[in-house]
Structure 1
């Protein structure tokens, strides 16, 4: 064996030993990770919590270096998810179709099967059965909330006495609880309640000042609303004959004088209704007189302020005139002689009022 052969053999043995050591180390690390998986996860979690900046830096660096790969994997994952969702929806639809067909084939047998199954479930786990039924009913009510509320409103409009009597019974038995809830709601929404009260008072004050009667609204049953609606439709949609149209056109027109007289009578009627509805019979009249006197006082103050400002400006102008005047001021009774010369007058006499 030559020297070169011996050197090559020694180098090959060394490389083999290094590869063997690396393989053994990888195997030891793998076994350690398997036996200490929880410790490794906890250690990584703590390191990430201590080094969020490094984690973000590593994540951004990896995303920049493998952007196309990440996008490709995301697309594939979304395709798999959408395909799985489509398969699940198709399977659910097939089950629904089969269930409907099975029920249509023998409804009585299916109802009896459902009753037996519910009895078995209730006997095996009463608490679980009640909880599951409660959740099913809640899901159904949540998904049909609008139509159920509409039915309840229609039922209440048709016969409001049932709900009113039930409310009176409940209040008689739980009056303290109701009042406590109202107080809690008021203090939780105090600003909104105060704003609502302020708007109501302003509306009522304006109604009384205008002499309008109080609002008298009442609820109608469904039959009354239907009758009113049909009567209105019949009145407004009924075709008129030519004779009726001619009669309507021949009716006398309302003159401007009659319209003004009607407006005056309407105003007096509103004022009388406001006086009758108010506990203080002269309050609307006094309010009107008070507003008239306030307007007159405001106009008088405005005129006095304007006169005082004009007098102040006249005093300032007179003071400036006296300061710049070179000749004494003429008496108001002195008659000024006309100027006969054609040349413009001299301005040496100063300003004059």
Structure 2
């Protein structure tokens, strides 16, 4: 054991001496490298860059190892780097701000020189300017088109004069466009046919004493304005409730005017007469009646907050027309009922008058008329000569005489004639009414 111990001691000493020599050699090598880097910084930087580019994985691995072994130092270096970057950005921003302020002050003080410089630069760099315009227009095509369209719509008179001036300056171009369109036979014939149809319609309306056609051409600006109004109306989220209120208001107003229109008109006329007796300013009874009806319907409805004045006026016009039509139908039915009742009560006398009328027509060489039709005509004439209170005007009833006669004859109210002949069929009555 002692011998072994003596042998190991010299070997350990030799190993310690070897480690010292290696450390000394490494230190000398590092010192030599440091002197070389200091003497040749550019060469060293280029060599290091080449090595890093040739060994990216090795560089990443060394960086990860160093950061893992020196985490706190790495974070401190990162914070210092961020502080330097932030300070550099602040310096650049402040420098740029001062330069911009100085440039702005100089431009404000020298506007003529600025305009001259810009003109010279644009003239010298026409290709760049055109390229800038093309790129900007390509990126903002829709925005520029919308802006130009809005300007044209807001300046209709200027655009009208501009189009006329262009046509005056480009008469040859205009003529060429027209010749090109007329060169297509189908388009040319379609234009001729449309013009001829419009002329024929105008002549027919003039001969019939009717007003000309009210349709007119609309410009693109008007169509765009209508389209915007339509989108604004139909995109309104409150539209369903608004339409519901308008429909309910119109229906209720129509029902009120149909059922109680006569009573409300009498009240309005009495109110107007009372104001006249008191020396107050006169008011229109019809307007008063519709205003009162609209007020009553508004009180009955739960919600009318979305209705505008124009919509209320439209509802009043619609209800007025519908109520007037319903009243005319009701009054016409009342007249038809009165004629039927008159025929039932005075059938014998009216039938005798009808037979006498036919005999007179035969003597004069005229064709006979269905006796039942003559009875109805006589009854209608006698009814019109009596009171017509609450009914349609006499002129209106005379204009609808054929309708009244056909309705009464078709009702089949005729008793058996003295000779036992059955009453006239509905088809014969209608044929007699048509041949009148």
Shorter-chain TM-score bucket reads 0.3 to 0.5
Relative contact order higher in (CA < 8 Å, ≥ 6 apart): 1
How high is the TM-score relative to the length of structure 2?
0.28
Larger radius of gyration: 2
How high is the TM-score relative to the length of structure 1?
0.33
